[in-house]
Amino acid sequence: MTNERKRDDAPTGNVALVTGASRGVGRGIALVLLAAGFQVYGTGRSIDQADLPREIVRLRCDHLNNDETARVFDAIRSGSGRLDLLVNCAWGGYEKMVEGGAFSWPAPFWEQPPHRWTGMMDAGVRAAFVCSAHAARMMTPRRRGLIINISFWAAQRHLGNTIYGIAKAATDKMTSDMAVELKPFDIPVIALYPGLVRTEAVLAAAKSGAFDLSTSESPEFIGRVINALFHDQDLMARTGQVLIAAAVAKEFGVLDIDGKSPPALTLADL
């Protein structure tokens, strides 16, 4: 781990941890929270090489490793003494999508490579569970905090990969049940769905015509939505729910970095 703070240099604002902050959605969220005044910790296996401002505390972590995950929270406890926001964005499901020259991601479940289960369920769902458990231990004594689990529509409709659907459905159910157990401590838990996000991988695929980016979202957009939710005084009324980021944005008047208001996708759009 690198760039860790000492307690005598602890921040006075809100403290956030964004897992999977090296690139894509996680990086966008981390950038927005930093600009909004949060002290931001970001994790990732390649976080040391990530294009991030120096103010973001980089904690190298493979969330498949329990000891490395535990050290992340030890560092936050030592550096800041508390945690106000956890955004579970770590996800290994999009790795090795092309193998042996073939696009294996949409193959039927009986032809899926074992690593894809590990990437989606262990590096995704399990990582979010373990991080949420650590976060809850820090948040419940203060009766303050927010846990956001990044999920997607695959929980509600088959989108080309059975494991993908299982992982997202598990994330939504995990959110719902965690919310029940954290409600007595006034700590909301939310599952948040992005739309089509202009991540590095999506932009690369768009060059071949794979995606229509006309209604897409920047990686920073969902970070703006999370910041708005964090400051919502009535957020406990939403705990345990699945929220569509673009729909929440319209409610709060949140715009994307280009000044646009991305449409809220529905199942019919998918």
The two tokens of residue 221 are: 């957009």
Q: Which of 41, 94, 164, 193 is catalytic?
A: 164
Residue 164 catalytic? yes
Q: 80-105 as b/e, with b when 16 or more CB fall inside 10 Å?
A: bebbbbbbbbbbbbeeeeeeeeeebb
Distance between terminal CA atoms of the chain? 40
Fill in the amino acid letter for 92.
G
Q: What are phi and psi of 191, to 5 degrees?
A: -100, 130
Contact 57, 39 (CB under 8 A): yes
Alpha-carbon separation of residue 86 from 116, 188, 190, 252 (angstroms): 25, 11, 11, 21
The catalytic residue positions are: 164
